[in-house]
Amino acid sequence: MKWIWAFKAFCKALKDPEGAKQFVEGAKKEMKAEDQSDFSHLRLLSMLQQTSRLVDFLKEDISTFNDAQIGAAVRKIHADSGKCLEELVTIRPVMEEKEGAKIQVPQGYDPSKIKVVGKVTKEPPFTGILVHKGWKAHKRSLPKKVGEQAAEVIQPAEVEVR
């Protein structure tokens, strides 16, 4: 079956060489665009790993540690991660009201900013209780890729030579 498709493609390329050339060049452009994917999420994770060892903590089996040991580690990770995140992304609440407050969701609200849950039976406006104020990126200043490090490497392995 594959050879039939290959033969048809060959015949079509013979009839329209310019179209075949454009098709092949278009495929090359798409491949290049794929290679330049946005790895900003991995850069952010890398920065959090560098400043607070967040990935180390999340991947660590903490079941053998007591609560006091975990609490001591979490305080530093929490502070360092929060500082790094604030510098790189600056996260702000979507809604300023306190959680638990009674609020009104207006007609024409943006569903990407407000998720309405519960007994939703009619059209907005809705009156409900704010369960979570949400988060949005206020400022994004994540650095671009630096150096030749592989895009999927969050933190390179470290070897001490003695």
129: confidence class by pLDDT, cuts 50, 70, 90? very high
The pLDDT of residue 150 is 66
Evaluate if residue 156 carries a pLDDT over 90: no
The pLDDT of residue 68 is 94
DSSP lists the bridge partners of residue 129 as 102
27-78 pLDDT tens trace:
555 555 555 677 888 888 989 999 999 999 999 999 999 999 999 999 999 9
Sign of the C-alpha dihedral computed for residues 105, 110, 115 and 116 taken in this order = positive
How large is the average pLDDT for residues 107-119?
A: 93
> When comparing pLDDT for 42 and 24, which is higher?
42
Cβ 120 vs Cβ 126: under 8 Å: yes
Evaluate if residue 158 carries a pLDDT over 60: yes
- The span from the CA of 26 to the CA of 107, in Å, is 44
Does the pTM surpass 0.95? The reply is no
Helix (H) or strand (E) holding 136: strand 135-137
- Helix and strand counts by DSSP (H, E) for the chain: 5, 4
Three-state secondary-structure class, residue 17 = helix
Count other Cβ atoms within 10 Å, centred on residue 89. Answer: 18
- The span from the CA of 88 to the CA of 38, in Å, is 16
102: confidence class by pLDDT, cuts 50, 70, 90? very high
- The answer to which of 1-5, 48-52, 150-154, 158-162 has the lowest mean pLDDT is 1-5
> When comparing pLDDT for 78 and 20, which is higher?
78
